[in-house]
Amino acid sequence: MFSAGLTGTQNDKGQPVRFGICADVHKDIMHDADIRLTEFIQEASKRKLDFIIELGDFCRPYDYNLDFLRIWNRFPGEKYHVIGNHETDGGFSKDQVIRFMNSPARYYSFDKKGFHFIVLDGNDLNPSPDKATGYPRYIGEEQRTWLINDLKSTKYPVILFSHQSLESEGIENRQQIRNILESENVSAGFKKVVACFSGHHHTDYATFINGINYIQINSMSYSWVGEEYKTIRYSKEIDSKYPWIKFTIPYMDPLYAFVEIYDKAIIIKGKKSKFVGPGPAELGMPERPENDKITPVISNRVIKREFTNR
């Protein structure tokens, strides 16, 4: 394993880490999820990538979803999964999800070309009596302790992946987790934690908080709009078989991105599509804030990396 260095020098032989990334395919909602995933895998397989990763809400571990998983497994290189909040729908346990996906654990880390990658599970139960309603979106004490130790165990620059974001309205104790990351940066004496990628929110958004980049990867498939704006987008036959699609605004083409991480910058090359049927304006939806806009795109971005805490 080669070191990227701690002072802003190029990593081994100047080679970036390259990976493909997608989020929220939602096989169990989208009628054409197989076609969408196939395009991503075909495009990823043409490139010299170090790995691919999906950020959760991929599919539930039903036997009938094995063919969908096999599409993912056609990629000839390394493949990683993040647990989303919908993988356990239907009463499945996280252990069942991990076995189905062939993941090493519900949270884990790995090194690649002088960078350290951490995968978190944002679906722990919040022990507080005043926890938020709905799906769990919390990182518990055991995982926090592991995260602290894992960060201290590496001298490499760190990239994190989680399903729910560590900013905006994501993980409930996101401030606590950000404090851990920022404290490690202070301890290390340089901007060791570089960026955090997330899915879940079905938005195209990036922000910078206390020296760390937070990047939301849009859904491969759609934006959820709910009962008030439901519309049959495809046909009555498809709606009958896939009844949740009418509560979404689907994207005509699958969205995904290819990322290059250099020692001094992150380059994201995303995709742009169109809506299937009426979009937010045609539906009369109110304007949303910047971090929650409905848009059929994963933006191209060039993110400069800082090296010092001064």
User: What is the Cα–Cα distance from 2 to 196, expressed in whole angstroms?
Assistant: 22
Report CA 124 to chain centroid distance, whole Å. 17
Kindly state the percentage of the chain with pLDDT values over 70.
94
Helices (H) and strands (E) in the chain, counts: 6, 14
What's the order of all strands across the beta sheet hosting 78-81?
A: 78-81, 51-54, 17-22, 257-261, 265-269, 301-304
CA-based nearest residue to 106, from 116, 118, 119, 87 = 119
Taking the chain (310 residues) in runs of 10, the rounded mean pLDDT of each run is 29 78 98 98 98 98 98 98 97 97 97 97 95 94 98 97 95 98 96 97 97 97 97 96 97 98 95 98 95 97 77
The tally of CA atoms less than 13 A away on the side-chain side of residue 228 is: 6
Q: What is the pLDDT of residue 306?
A: 75
**Strand locations in 30-99, DSSP E?**
51-54, 78-81
Domains and CATH numbers, the chain: 12-304 (3.60.21.10)
User: What is the Cα–Cα distance from 292 to 201, expressed in whole angstroms?
Assistant: 8
pLDDT tens profile 134-170 = 999 999 999 999 999 999 999 999 999 999 999 988 9
Q: What is the pLDDT of residue 47?
A: 97
- Whether 217 and 23 have beta carbons less than 8 Å apart is answered as yes
Report CA 241 to chain centroid distance, whole Å. 27
Question: Partners of 214 in the beta sheet?
Answer: 196, 207
Under DSSP, is residue 146 helix (H, G, I), strand (E, B) or coil? helix
Handedness of CA 166, 169, 175, 176 (dihedral sign): negative
Q: What is the pLDDT of residue 6?
A: 28
CA-based nearest residue to 82, from 73, 91, 90, 94 = 94
E strand or H helix at 66, and its extent? helix 66-73
pLDDT tens profile 36-51 = 999 999 999 999 999 9
User: What is the Cα–Cα distance from 242 to 26, expressed in whole angstroms?
Assistant: 11
Burial 61-99 (b: 16+ CB within 10 A, else e): beeebeebbebbeebeeebbbbbbbbbbeeeeebeebbe
pLDDT tens profile 179-216 = 999 999 999 999 999 999 999 999 999 999 999 999 99
The residue type of 294 is: I
Q: What is the pLDDT of residue 14?
A: 64
Under DSSP, is residue 179 helix (H, G, I), strand (E, B) or coil? helix
